[in-house]
Structure 1
Amino acid sequence: MEKIKIGVIGCGSIAKHRHLPEYATNELVEIVAVCDIVAQRAEELANTYQARAYTDYNELLASEDVDAVSVCTPNYLHAPISIAALQAGKHVLCEKPMATSREEAEAMIAAGEASGKKLMIAHNQRFVPSHQKAKALIQSGELGKIYSFRSAFGHGGPEGWSADGKDSWFFRKSEAFIGAMGDLGVHKTDLLRFLLGEEFVEVGAFVETSAKENSDVDDTAVCVLKTESGVVGTLAASWSYVSKEDNSTIIYAENAILRLEDDPTYSLIVQYKNGEVVKYELGGIQTNDEGGQKSSKVIEHFVQAIAHDEQPLVTGEEGMKSLQVVLSALDSAETKQIVRI
């Protein structure tokens, strides 16, 4: 089989530490092109991966040599570049949040359908072993009715991770559109939808900028969410957790409590009502602290979807539903009302 030829648009941290290294170890693909408006960044990575460097994504997309692209740019460019790529006949893996509005997300989905190409959103939390195991336990029915949950995703902020440090686009509303809720919160809305197997119907949220002085986007958000069947819980997203990253989720059910990524050794702990405790050592979640050494499985899944002509697990529709919860949370914070999703 011929190798799938990959282009990566945007050469910041997520491309450098996740997308490119994971493509490089995948034997089904060949990295042929990289693009960044900062020529030096594109050239450095092009040299590392023996690829062609571009500073204009339109030129990269015009290349017959590219089958699929990863879109790793600031958030406000996700939709226009993804749409242009799909229209150019390329498969697209787009970083999250997929877009800055529902209209943009719908336009991306429409472009995917019109082109017949794959559109996948890079929500990596679905692929974490503890989350997959928890999903299976919930689906099996052994936990009984789900009552409640709490989920958090927080760390010290993007300045420790972003290629531009304190000057990062993450802090500018014009480029990022949303702060911690877009960077981290959307991961958790996607995970909770995946785990619970149902949609959220209402959200109430407090969204603040309290920790970052150089920013006009949110850095601390707490949301209360309710699903179709009446499962209620909280989601916190923050760039103000100054010590170890928190990426934990706890599910409270009729027969047990599930603790996901809450313990440094055991990535899933099930505490049953009868007192029995089962601890699973499944390998931890990918964190920025370790430089992203573990595979996120996202690239592997995207490549397999192309190779076998299958729908990816996180389609544009799925990405849009997870984004919509975040958009509704922002509405709630602004209007001081509970918002129906």
Structure 2
Amino acid sequence: MDIKAGIIGCGSIAKFRHAPEYRANPYVSEIVFYDRNLERAEELATLFGGSVAKSVDKLLADPEIEVISDCSSNENHHLFSTKALKSGKHVLCEKPISLTIEHANQVVDAQKESGRKLMVDHNQRFTRAHQKAKEIIENKELGNVLTFQTTFGHQGPEYWGVNKTNSTWFFKKDRSGFGVVGDLGIHKLDLIHYLLDDQIEQVSAFQAALDKVDENGEPIEVCDNVVCSLKTNQGRLGTASFSWTYYGQEDNSTIIYCEKGILKIYHNSTYQLEVFTKDGEQINYKLESIQTNDSQTNTGVIDAFIDCVRLDTEPIVSGQDALLSLKVILGVMEAAETNKVVTI
């Protein structure tokens, strides 16, 4: 089965994640690239042996293209993903699904109307350590989950983005929307939903632009740090911190505290999952190292997306899942801006 893929937006996420993973997938025969900056599309077409579409409409009008990766910037996700679904394409949308509930609903509705697949790239669900942790929690090997803490931070998108400067769109309120929360935080909030099979229902938060400046040397318009407290439907309590100012080493770790022990995920570079039981036993799992900005490995996202199209199965991250994570993000932003506890 030969699947032809289209990529909208040729920034770093397309270059380092989507394009190489499509090329490595045995079922994908060709990639067509579109970017409003034609040179960027041409660069990736050369790099990955694909071709270039001169417009989004031309890309979506190609009857041979079955799947689309929407790698545009946040404010455009709802436009391109909705249009692609309505054109009869299966869509893998970068996170967040959109910047507003209304726009997210447009994408979800387009999926329902079209009957095509929609998956959103909350890629933390795909790591073996997180999947093993979920299995341990589901099987109640350590009893019920009581509390948790999670963090995701690195030195910032200007070190990762396509132009490697402080003019990155991630620092612009109208394009990024939520700063570090929409970039890194949403991954961890989705992960908590996934691991605990539960939903965050109340949040309080602090946010600030502590250190980052834009291309003019002014403090950025969005937050570079957020710390929040979370409560789930089932009454579990947790904390989360997200940062673009972890200078020196990325932190992508989560700890789950249960009745009979503790799960530590991505705390130890040798053992990606460590279990400490109440009676003093320690079990170490050597699975695979997590992907970082400095160390690009296959995320498994594209493979999972192609499999759900090929085998007609449900995506691991649905539009509905992405909508729930977006609601939490909006709650975190509101809590930080109003100094109130917000119910999602």
TM-score (norm: length of structure 2): 0.97
Who is 2:173 aligned against? 173
Mapping of 1:97-246 within 5 angstroms?
Answer: 97-166=96-165, 167-214=167-214, 215-246=220-251
Who is 1:27 aligned against? 26
- Asked whether the equivalents of residues 31 and 49 of structure 1 are also in contact (C-alpha less than 8 Å), the reply is no
User: What is the distance in 1 between the residues matched to 2:174 and 2:233?
Assistant: 34
Who is 2:294 aligned against? 289
- Asked whether the equivalents of residues 226 and 232 of structure 1 are also in contact (C-alpha less than 8 Å), the reply is yes
Which of the residues 249, 258, 280 maps onto 2:254?
249
Which of the residues 308, 311, 325 maps onto 1:308?
311
| One-letter code aligned to 2:266 | E
User: What is the distance in 2 between the residues matched to 1:310 and 1:264?
Assistant: 34
| One-letter code aligned to 1:337 | K
User: What is the distance in 2 between the residues matched to 1:255 and 1:112?
Assistant: 42
User: What is the distance in 1 between the residues matched to 2:101 and 2:124?
Assistant: 22
Who is 2:302 aligned against? 299
Q: CA deviation at 1:107?
A: 0.8
Who is 1:334 aligned against? 337
Once the two structures are superposed, what CA deviation does each residue of 1:226-277 show, in whole Å capped at 9, x if it has no partner?
0111100111111010011000000111101110001111100101110111
Provide runs of 4+ in structure 1 moved above 4 Å. none
Once the two structures are overlaid, the 10-residue window that deviates more, 50-59 or 313-322, is: 50-59
User: What is the distance in 2 between the residues matched to 1:64 and 1:268?
Assistant: 44
Who is 1:267 aligned against? 272
User: What is the distance in 1 between the residues matched to 2:141 and 2:308?
Assistant: 31
User: What is the distance in 2 between the residues matched to 1:49 and 1:284?
Assistant: 25
Q: CA deviation at 1:332?
A: 0.7
Once the two structures are superposed, what CA deviation does each residue of 1:129-159 show, in whole Å capped at 9, x if it has no partner?
1111110000001211211110000000001
User: What is the distance in 2 between the residues matched to 1:47 and 1:32?
Assistant: 11
| One-letter code aligned to 1:320 | L
Q: CA deviation at 1:64?
A: 1.6
User: What is the distance in 1 between the residues matched to 2:211 and 2:164?
Assistant: 15
Once the two structures are superposed, what CA deviation does each residue of 1:181-228 show, in whole Å capped at 9, x if it has no partner?
000000000100000111111010111111211121111001100011
User: What is the distance in 1 between the residues matched to 2:162 and 2:270?
Assistant: 30
User: What is the distance in 1 between the residues matched to 2:330 and 2:57?
Assistant: 29
User: What is the distance in 2 between the residues matched to 1:132 and 1:143?
Assistant: 16
Q: CA deviation at 1:57?
A: 1.4
1:334 counterpart SS class: helix
Once the two structures are superposed, what CA deviation does each residue of 1:53-82 show, in whole Å capped at 9, x if it has no partner?
134212211222211100111100111000
| One-letter code aligned to 1:168 | T
Corresponding pairs, count: 338
| One-letter code aligned to 1:202 | Q
Residue 325 of structure 2 is aligned to residue 322 of structure 1: yes
RMSD: 0.9
Which consecutive unaligned segments of at least 5 residues does structure 2 have?
215-219
| One-letter code aligned to 1:305 | C
1:181 counterpart SS class: helix
Who is 1:70 aligned against? 69
- Asked whether the equivalents of residues 20 and 48 of structure 2 are also in contact (C-alpha less than 8 Å), the reply is no
User: What is the distance in 2 between the residues matched to 1:288 and 1:14?
Assistant: 10
| One-letter code aligned to 2:237 | V
- Asked whether the equivalents of residues 171 and 221 of structure 2 are also in contact (C-alpha less than 8 Å), the reply is yes
- Asked whether the equivalents of residues 69 and 92 of structure 2 are also in contact (C-alpha less than 8 Å), the reply is yes
- Asked whether the equivalents of residues 305 and 312 of structure 1 are also in contact (C-alpha less than 8 Å), the reply is yes
User: What is the distance in 2 between the residues matched to 1:243 and 1:72?
Assistant: 28
2:65 counterpart SS class: coil
Q: CA deviation at 1:46?
A: 1.3
- Asked whether the equivalents of residues 220 and 240 of structure 1 are also in contact (C-alpha less than 8 Å), the reply is yes
Q: CA deviation at 1:303?
A: 0.1
User: What is the distance in 2 between the residues matched to 1:50 and 1:280?
Assistant: 38
User: What is the distance in 1 between the residues matched to 2:209 and 2:231?
Assistant: 25
| One-letter code aligned to 1:82 | S
1:229 counterpart SS class: coil
